[in-house]
Amino acid sequence: MKLQTLSEVNIERAARRPVIVITDTANGDQRLVKAKDIASDPLRGELSKQLRMGKSGMIEAAGKKLFLNVYAPTARLVIVGAVHISQALAPLARSLDYDVTVVDPRTAFASPERFPDVPLIAEWPDVALPPLNVDHYTAFVAVTHDPKIDDPALLHAFARDCFYIGALGSRKTHAKRAERLKAQGASDTDIARIHAPIGLNIGAVSPSEIAVSIMAEITAELRLPKEAAKEQAA
């Protein structure tokens, strides 16, 4: 890899922006495609597919064998609410290589004993979330059932364009939540981004089963094309 290409890759990675280096295996020619340019690239279909999978690989295009070296940020999961579901969700997400952080101002819940080896922030969302640099490669889950905690956290997730936003609660609870969020400036588009009731409909009952349904929905949002992800959630 040329020094200039490597430098550009490192800049994008430091900013947590995905980038793909395309190498012609016949002659070694390389070009770099940044995330913002994928949609207009002649190989956009293949580039989008490899990026969704987060894996490098060989493709054939226009009679050439090309190696796509994918540099995708490590996905994060921010869980707002140190509840029973979170105790099952955090280790499950970590087993899938997510960087996990749990936020809850209630110190009785956000304790190391309940969440061993998981970063905990026992602060209110307005204090805890800004330093985390939440971004598009972050999945955001609000599960406290407390509007004073969940609502400002969801507003932060909207502003940071998280790839997944989910909130615990029934449809009736979510309707009330939507009205509160709109009163605080959220748009209809923002509200539509919330997965609520949270998780895929697999008949989950226990906290562990609900955690599985949440991670399945997050995985579908990350890995599947948008239309396919919507079908899974329907």
The CATH number linked to 168 is 3.40.50.720
Q: Note whether 142 and 177 are same-domain residues.
A: yes
Residue 81 has pLDDT above 80, yes or no: yes
> What are 2's two structure tokens?
């040329």
3-class secondary-structure state, position 93: helix
- What would the mean pLDDT of 208-224 be, rounded to a whole number? 95
CA distance 86 to 121: 14
Q: What pLDDT does 224 receive? A: 86
Clarify whether residues 137 and 222 are in a common domain.
yes
Same domain (yes/no): 182, 227: yes
End-to-end CA, the chain: 44
- Please tell me whether residues 104 and 143 are part of one structural domain: yes
Residues 50 and 99 in one domain: no
What DSSP string runs through 134-190? --TTEEEEE-S--HHHHHHHHHHHHHTT-SEEEE-S-HHHHHHHHHHHHHTT--HHH
Please identify, among 48, 71, 94, the residue that sits at the C-terminal boundary of a domain. 71
Give the SS3 label for residue 100: strand
Task: Tell me the percentage of the chain whose pLDDT exceeds 70.
Answer: 96
Q: Are 41 and 115 within one domain? A: no
The whole-number pLDDT of residue 231 equals 59
Angular region, 183: left φ>0, alpha ψ -120 to 50, beta rest:
alpha
Same domain, 45 and 86: no
- Of all residues in the chain, the percent with pLDDT exceeding 90 is 90
Q: Are residues 55 and 107 in the same domain?
A: no
Q: How many domains is the chain built from?
A: 2
- What Rg do the C-alpha atoms of the chain give, in angstroms? 20
Tell me the one-letter amino acid at 41: D
Taking 80 as the threshold, does the pLDDT of residue 220 lie above it? yes
Question: CA–CA separation, 190 vs 2, rounded Å?
Answer: 42
Q: Give the per-residue pLDDT at 172.
A: 95
Q: pLDDT tens for residues 95-120?
A: 999 999 999 999 999 999 999 999 99
Is the same domain home to 85 and 157?
yes
Give me the pLDDT at residue 233, please.
Answer: 59
Residues 42 and 131 in one domain: no
Domain that holds residue 136: 76-233
- Give 50's pLDDT tier (boundaries 50, 70, 90): very high
Dmax over CA atoms of the chain, in Å, equals 62
The answer to whether residues 154 and 226 belong to one domain is yes
Residues 213 and 112 in one domain: yes
* Mean pLDDT on 35-39: 92
pLDDT tops 70 at residue 78: yes
Mean pLDDT, rounded, of the chain: 93
